[in-house]
Amino acid sequence: MIELKHIVKKYGSKRALQDVTLSIPKGKVIGLVGENGSGKSTLLKMMAGLSTPNSGSASFDGKPITRRVASRIAYMSDTDDFYTYFTVQQLIDFYESQFKDFDVLKAKEIVQFLNVSLNSKIKSLSKGNRGRVKIAVTLAREADVYLLDEPFSGLDPMVRDDIAKGLIRFTDPEWQTVIMSTHEIREVEPLLDDIIVMRGGVIIAHEAVDEIRDFYGVDATSWMVSLFKDGNREGISK
- Strands of 55-60's sheet in order across: 14-24, 2-11, 55-60, 63-64
- Taking the model in full, what pTM does it have? 0.92
- The type of residue at 98 is Q
The contacts of residue 89 (CB under 8 Å, 6+ apart) are: 118, 119
The contacts of residue 172 (CB under 8 Å, 6+ apart) are: none
- The type of residue at 13 is S
The contacts of residue 183 (CB under 8 Å, 6+ apart) are: 33, 150, 152, 153
Radius of gyration (C-alpha) of the chain in whole angstroms: 18
Residue 232, pLDDT score = 53
Residue 237 lies in a domain: no
Q: Name the DSSP class of 172.
A: -
Residue 236, pLDDT score = 45
Size of the chain, expressed as the number of residues it contains: 238
- Ordered mean pLDDT values, 10 residues apiece, the chain (238 residues): 96 94 94 93 96 95 89 90 89 96 97 95 92 94 96 85 90 94 84 94 95 90 82 47
Q: What is the CATH number of the domain that holds 172?
A: 3.40.50.300
Number of domains in the chain: 1
Alpha carbons 150 and 175: distance in angstroms, whole number: 22
Residue 85 lies in a domain: yes
Asked whether 92 and 104 are in contact (CB, 8 A), the reply is yes
Residue 116 lies in a domain: yes
Residue 89, pLDDT score = 97
Residue 217 lies in a domain: yes
Residue 145 lies in a domain: yes
Residue 165 lies in a domain: yes
Domain extent, residue 153, equals 2-230
Residue 231, pLDDT score = 60
The torsion angle over the Cα atoms of residues 24, 28, 34 and 37, rounded to 10 degrees, is 60
Residue 162 lies in a domain: yes
Alpha carbons 79 and 67: distance in angstroms, whole number: 19
The H or E element spanning position 204 is: strand 202-208
Asked whether 82 and 91 are in contact (CB, 8 A), the reply is yes
